Structure 1
């Protein structure tokens, strides 16, 4: 993976990737559609995020859309951990959720990931 976030002086960063890093265009859409910007703004501040209710609703929608995409991607990655790397449910739960006893949660993520993959 060659997606890079480079910290620049002060409070600046630059994100770079290649088309090989983003074959489905998820990164491009998140950047070009302002989803990433909105989600980062939501992370950075609680008050004064948007000047009016409509702007705040847009930021909220973008943040939710990106969160849903990340949830789907995490579920697909759990499928990869299980199927390609033969990790046990407790291993995956420990590494992904920090608790080996939450294996039923990662099983649900696995099932969701398989659905997203069309299996």
Structure 2
């Protein structure tokens, strides 16, 4: 993948990608809709300031990106299991930082299969 995040100076960074990296337009959408900006702001400032409407918008955008990332992570679990043949234990150890959470990673797998239409 050629998506790159380059720290340019101080507290700035540049993100670059190609059309091949984003065939479904997810990266473009999260950048253009400010979902990425809201999520990064939430990482930096867990207590957001502003009007209730501004904080609601930030929470909505952050949650939407989190849901998309959860679906993408589930899809990756399907690939790890079905294509690469990794054990549930190994996937759980890496993805969930706990090899004993195999049932949780299986639920991610089932979710990934549902989202893929399988």
Shorter-chain TM-score bucket reads over 0.9
Whole-Å separation in 1 of the counterparts to 2:117 and 2:69 = 18
Gapped regions of structure 1 (runs ≥ 5): none
In the alignment, what sits opposite 1:6?
Answer: 6
1:79 matched to which residue of 2? 78
After TM superposition, the structure 1 = structure 2 runs for residues 41-56 of structure 1, keeping only pairs within 5 Å, are: 41-47=41-47, 49-56=48-55
Name 1:62's counterpart in structure 2: 61
1:43-68 Cα distance to aligned partner (Å, 9 max, x none): 11134x34211111101100000000
Does the residue aligned with 2:101 lie in a helix, a strand or coil?
Answer: helix
Q: How many residues align?
A: 118
The TM-score with structure 1 as length reference comes to: 0.96
Q: Secondary structure at the match of 1:100?
A: coil
Is 1:29 the counterpart of 2:35? The answer is no
Q: TM-score, normalised by structure 2?
A: 0.97
Greater than 3 Å deviation, 4+ residue runs: none
Q: In the alignment, which residue of structure 1 is the partner of 2:103? A: 104
Counterpart residue number, 1:88: 87
